[in-house]
Amino acid sequence: MSQSTLEGDHPGSPGGGAGSGGGAGGGGSRRSRSHWTHLHWTHLHWPPRNPRRLVVEWLVVLVVAVVVAIGLRTFVVQVYFVPSGSMEPTLQVGDRIVVDKLFFSPSSLHDGQIVVFAHPPGDKPGVCDDPNAADLVKRIVASPGQTIVSHGNAIWVDGRPQPEPYLPKGTQLGRPVPFQRIPPGRYFVMGDNRYESCDSRYWGTIPGSTVVGPVVAVIWRHGHPALHTF
């Protein structure tokens, strides 16, 4: 910005106007040119940077970036990769989903919500295909104090069939749900791909304290960016 201003003022300087007059004007013009040239040189040639200081500055920038990234992941949002089809067609293999951590509390959980949670201890080797997975993603279908049971392919909660508009018409249930009442602080979760999903029908209800957060968006699908919010 300084350089542009100086170059813009140079053609209209007083010395230029006096140059067509007497010798005194010419001298004034030479002094003016010398003055502007000196300023122009000063703004174009910065003093050399200390390499050690430059390295330290970049290290500080990198450390701050890492701290911010860790803070965002720990307290704000976290992105997960979906490795299986247990939540199809809502979530598909290869999707990247965003989980909200900032505004989440266990008391805000409700039926129909898709959540990521820590792997349940009830999932023993031989129960499901991947008992070593760190976190799972399913949908809450019954909350503390409610009753749940299946009749045919339909899920009944508190004696009423659930509409479940997120499921394709004709979805097969697979393993049935025996009648039970959900204990305090726990949730019954299932995958939308009911016939293939390994869920609370196999390893029981999950504590609300193990929920990482609700899924709020899909941001990647079929190998390219996408956006679908929940």
The residues annotated as belonging to the active site are 86, 138
Give the tokens for residue 66.
């890492």
CA-to-CA separations, 44 to 51, 142, 154, in angstroms, rounded: 20, 69, 76
CA distance 222 to 69: 26
CA-to-CA separations, 172 to 150, 178, 192, 193, 212, in angstroms, rounded: 12, 16, 10, 8, 29
Give the tokens for residue 173.
């249930």
